[in-house]
Chain A
């Protein structure tokens, strides 16, 4: 896959993206707190990777460390462009990046478990069709067409249910308090 990526082309890029998208997303989240900024940075990282595709030389090492260095450099550039300093836990050199970016946060598993419990409590407060929509749209990531078939409604209703559940969740005080406690 690394050699194919180096030869360029959209298919090879797509293959690498599919394999490493979640990893890049996790790296970027270490640099930015805001989900919007994370999305912008992820887009920038991958567009830079696409432009630099032919600069990658498989003879010099595997793709993932190359991608990690590219990601860390691009994130630092974006922070500098916004006249911001990285938070104090961001390492200053490339060697430390590997350890820092790939290490799990200390409270990740505890927080995730608490969040799952809180989402389950929230889901139990919903009417049946909204609870089912939550499961299909958010958890199972089904398309609106599939959700509409499953619920016996049209796609417009599926979109409405998604929006309604999301807004209700964003106004649930206990859930929002937990979301604010740490980076999701």
Chain B
């Protein structure tokens, strides 16, 4: 399944950081990529041009004068903010819904099911947001489910190279899927932050849900290589 998704891009040489992130976690695609790369080397292309292009694109930019002004601007903005806060008359404390640390228990359970690697049995990996963290491997394939299934839910999974948004529209089942299965390797190196909120009608994204007053619950998938 994975190879079918990425074969065209690998064969066309369209291998950007998204494809590379997938290759890190998918043996099948990596084997195909490796065969083409070995063949290209045998034909005379040692990959040096692509290597140079990729490396220099990844280097931090220097001589960018705008960057020099960033710390100065940030300090000035901070000073202005401090002055403004101190000059403002005191108001009764207001609790903003959906933006603070959620104190109570979440009205839903976001179950994370998955396989540790292709071909492995499916198991329950985490029950968010009750468990704040769960460990998964880079080759894991996961899918979210919400309980109760009647919950309208938005979930955002944020990794180093990708953010995945998924929704559940609410259905008359005990446990309903939220979005489609996904590969952990596709998010790049590092952990994945998983935030979810019960979505009021009309809220298409997590931000929309929070703006509409929903409470956001965040947990972390700790990714090991």
CB of B225 within 8 A of CB of A81, answer: yes
Cβ of A3 under 8 Å from chain B: no
- Per-residue interface assignment for chain B, residues 34 to 58, with 1 indicating a CB less than 8 Å from any chain A CB and 0 otherwise: 1111111111111111011011101
CB of A163 within 8 A of CB of B51, answer: no
Given that A36-B34, A163-B13, A184-B38 are known contacts, is A169 also in contact with B43, CB under 8 Å in the complex? yes
- Per-residue interface assignment for chain B, residues 4 to 46, with 1 indicating a CB less than 8 Å from any chain A CB and 0 otherwise: 0000000111000000100110000010011111111111111
CB under 8 Å from chain B, chain A span 23-53 = 25, 34-36, 39-40, 42-43, 46-47, 50
CB of A176 within 8 A of CB of B62, answer: no
Cβ of A167 under 8 Å from chain B: yes
B interface, by DSSP: helix, strand, loop or mixed? Answer: helix
CB distance from B164 to the nearest CB of A (A): 23
Task: Report the contact-size class of chain B (Cβ under 8 Å from the partner).
Answer: 20 to 34
CB under 8 Å from chain A, chain B span 39-95 = 39-49, 51-52, 54-56, 58-59, 62-63
CB of A134 within 8 A of CB of B58, answer: no
CB of B42 within 8 A of CB of A179, answer: yes
CB of A35 within 8 A of CB of B44, answer: no
Cβ of A153 under 8 Å from chain B: no
| Chain A residues within 8 Å of chain B by Cβ, number | 42
Q: How far is the CA of A36 from the CA of B185 in the complex (A)?
A: 15
Interface stretch among A61-69, A96-104, A136-144?
A136-144
Given that A35-B34, A170-B35 are known contacts, is A50 also in contact with B59, CB under 8 Å in the complex? yes
Cβ of A115 under 8 Å from chain B: yes
CB of A43 within 8 A of CB of B12, answer: no
Given contacts A119-B44, A163-B12, A163-B13, 7 further A-B contacts (CB under 8 A): A25-B48, A39-B37, A81-B225, A159-B12, A163-B11, A167-B11, A184-B38
